[in-house]
Structure 1
Amino acid sequence: MSVIKVGTSSWADQTLVRSGWYPRAANTPSGRLDYYAGKFPLVEVDTSYYAVPTPETTQGWVEATGDDFTFNVKAYRLFTGHPTPVATLPADLRPSGGPARIRRRDLPPAAYDELWRRFRAALAPIAAADRLGAVLLQFPPWLARGEAARRRIAELADRCRPWRVAVELRHGSWFDGTAALETLAFLREHGLTNCAVDMPQGHPESVPPILIATADLAMVRMHGHSTAWAGGDKEDRFRYAYADRELGIWSELLTELAGQADELHVLFNNCCAGQAQRDAERLAGLLTAGRVPAGAERSSRR
């Protein structure tokens, strides 16, 4: 029987901290992570997209959680082709002069390889503790389907091996008509998890939630359906509360998807003032059918 793990795409964003979801006693970073891990078996590390953490930081995450807790880690944005502020790079790897935001082509090959070495070093404590679920490669909405893009995805995945890799594609060309079958075949051939997304439709960067597993790990990220997706700031884009009916439908769809893989990760990314945590708890309560309720209160681990 497949394992279904439900969690959220952050445990430390400021709107969550201010929302009152954490008790007053959980007033330190490690205390909040400890409390979160008592509620959920899974979290997505979002901060690694903005800057590569240190091994000391990730070791602290391991020590704040139990043996059955899982971290999915989002890859640093420079790796996946997003414009990256130079200031977020380690000081000794920052190119001198030039623009304030760079892309991969702006970094010398030796510095790029070293950045990957440090990213892998940061993940090593999590992997050594057998807590690393997958590395998430979230590609920008302008990465269109094509042979060059496929080579790039495969190259980045190879840099993550032997860890599991999930791929979130955000350009409609990957899933337009018969292209969806080709995309899924490509991911399956390379042993990559198809990261399906629930998101607003009808926008240039919209992709449909393709609920087909391409590896032993399946993954769904729940972005919500905010009406402010186009043109809104980040908080407004993800300000959305799932209705009971929506979560009921999703519980059935996810149960079916779980039957295609050994493990299913469901991450709520409607991170605004604790809404992701509330929705994740509600969904976990619906995912029964003989499975362990992934979001239920969990026993003490220490």
Structure 2
Amino acid sequence: MNPEGLAGSAAPGEIKLRVGTAGWAIPAGVRERFPVAGGGLERYASRLGAVEINSTFYRRHRVSTFERWAAATPADFRFAVKAPREITHRRKLENCEDVLADLAADLRGLGDRLGPVLIQTPPGLAFEETRTGAFLDACEAQIETAIVMEPRHASWFTASADHWLSTRRVARVAADPEPAPGAGLPGGSGAHVYFRLHGSPDMYRSAYGRDRLKAILQRVMAAGEVGAERWVIFDNTASGAAAADALALARMARSA
């Protein structure tokens, strides 16, 4: 079975699109779209090609837990992982080499299933080159995968900040709803494209609907460099809308 949430191919110059949700819950409304047999993650990964792990924001997981999750998924499935709040909200990107080392050690359990690490900074954390540069240096020394950032302070969405992120080959997330003007489109490096769709107008609850999904798909496909891997993660999970939206968007992409 080809996952609906994996469109395109890895061939040079072709588009690869990964569609998934925050977490791998399968709501009752789409249950019939997934196999009956198997564990929750195994069933999810048979239909969608990616997932975002958010629980890592709140607590550390054992390497064996990541190994078990990786083993439940097909070879081309990928996990994005949200960085711990100790890094982003408590230490505010400063002096966090020890936490990054722990995260890197744990994520080795995902092996080749590891996708990008998501850094979501708090709304009050402004862009500052020295602090952010030192943090990214620490990431490069510890984390062996792409870093994507989801900032929420307006200072991150200026032309100069965007150019700076691009020179560091770090992608900025496109978020809905926008926390600041310009946040709805991806920025920074075009080597990776990452959309996080939290639901709007009712955050975490609103479904997107066919017309909005078509517009989102157009923006996703137009973004990034040739050969970039594009991610779309639906975080409107509180109402159960995320899985249905992910399946619908992936189906649109495969038929485009």
TM-score in terms of structure 2 length: 0.83
Task: Determine if contact 1:198/1:221 at 8 Å carries over to the other structure.
Answer: yes
Secondary structure at 1:287's aligned position in 2? helix
Deviation of 1:248 (Å): 1.5
Secondary structure at 1:197's aligned position in 2? strand
In the alignment, which residue of structure 2 is the partner of 1:222? 197
Q: Which runs of 4+ in 1 moved over 4 A?
A: 20-27, 258-261
Q: What is the one-letter code of the residue matched to 2:236?
A: N
Q: What is the one-letter code of the residue matched to 1:257?
A: A
Task: Determine if contact 2:163/2:188 at 8 Å carries over to the other structure.
Answer: no
For structure 1, list consecutive stretches of 5 or more residues without a partner in the other structure: 83-102, 228-236, 291-302
**What is the alpha-carbon distance in structure 1 between the residues aligned to residue 252 and residue 214 of structure 2?**
7
Q: Does 1:164 align with 2:146?
A: yes
Deviation of 1:121 (Å): 1.4
Alignment of 1:101-180 (within 5 A): 103-104=90-91, 113-126=97-110, 128=111, 130-175=112-157, 179=158
Task: Determine if contact 1:213/1:257 at 8 Å carries over to the other structure.
Answer: no
**What is the alpha-carbon distance in structure 2 between the residues aligned to residue 152 and residue 133 of structure 1?**
22
Identity across matched positions, percent: 28
Q: What is the one-letter code of the residue matched to 1:117?
A: A
| Among candidates 2, 23, 26, match of residue 10 of structure 1 | 23
Secondary structure at 2:127's aligned position in 1? coil
Q: What is the one-letter code of the residue matched to 1:72?
A: A
Deviation of 1:256 (Å): 1.0
Q: Does 1:75 align with 2:83?
A: yes
Task: Determine if contact 1:143/1:149 at 8 Å carries over to the other structure.
Answer: no
Deviation of 1:155 (Å): 4.0
Secondary structure at 1:79's aligned position in 2? helix
Q: Does 1:270 align with 2:236?
A: yes
Relative distance call for 1:225 and 1:53 in structure 2 (3 A) is same
CA RMSD of aligned residues (A): 2.7
Q: Does 1:58 align with 2:78?
A: no
Alignment of 1:219-298 (within 5 A): 219-227=194-202, 237-257=203-223, 260-288=226-254
**What is the alpha-carbon distance in structure 1 between the residues aligned to residue 76 and residue 207 of structure 2?**
28
Q: What is the one-letter code of the residue matched to 2:234?
A: F
| Among candidates 197, 201, 211, match of residue 186 of structure 2 | 211
Task: Determine if contact 1:3/1:258 at 8 Å carries over to the other structure.
Answer: no
**What is the alpha-carbon distance in structure 2 between the residues aligned to residue 26 and residue 164 of structure 1?**
34
Deviation of 1:124 (Å): 0.4
In the alignment, which residue of structure 2 is the partner of 1:88? none
Q: What is the one-letter code of the residue matched to 1:190?
A: R
**What is the alpha-carbon distance in structure 2 between the residues aligned to residue 152 and residue 139 of structure 1?**
15
Task: Determine if contact 1:2/1:259 at 8 Å carries over to the other structure.
Answer: no
- For CA contacts below 8 A with separation 6 or more, give which structure has more relative contact order: 1
Relative distance call for 1:198 and 1:206 in structure 2 (3 A) is same
Deviation of 1:162 (Å): 2.7
Task: Determine if contact 1:74/1:137 at 8 Å carries over to the other structure.
Answer: yes
* Structure index of larger Rg: 1
TM-score in terms of structure 1 length: 0.71
| Among candidates 44, 48, 55, match of residue 56 of structure 2 | 48
**What is the alpha-carbon distance in structure 2 between the residues aligned to residue 153 and residue 196 of structure 1?**
21
**What is the alpha-carbon distance in structure 1 between the residues aligned to residue 238 and residue 58 of structure 2?**
18
Relative distance call for 1:218 and 1:261 in structure 2 (3 A) is farther
**What is the alpha-carbon distance in structure 2 between the residues aligned to residue 260 and residue 279 of structure 1?**
26
**What is the alpha-carbon distance in structure 1 between the residues aligned to residue 18 and residue 73 of structure 2?**
15
Relative distance call for 1:69 and 1:160 in structure 2 (3 A) is same
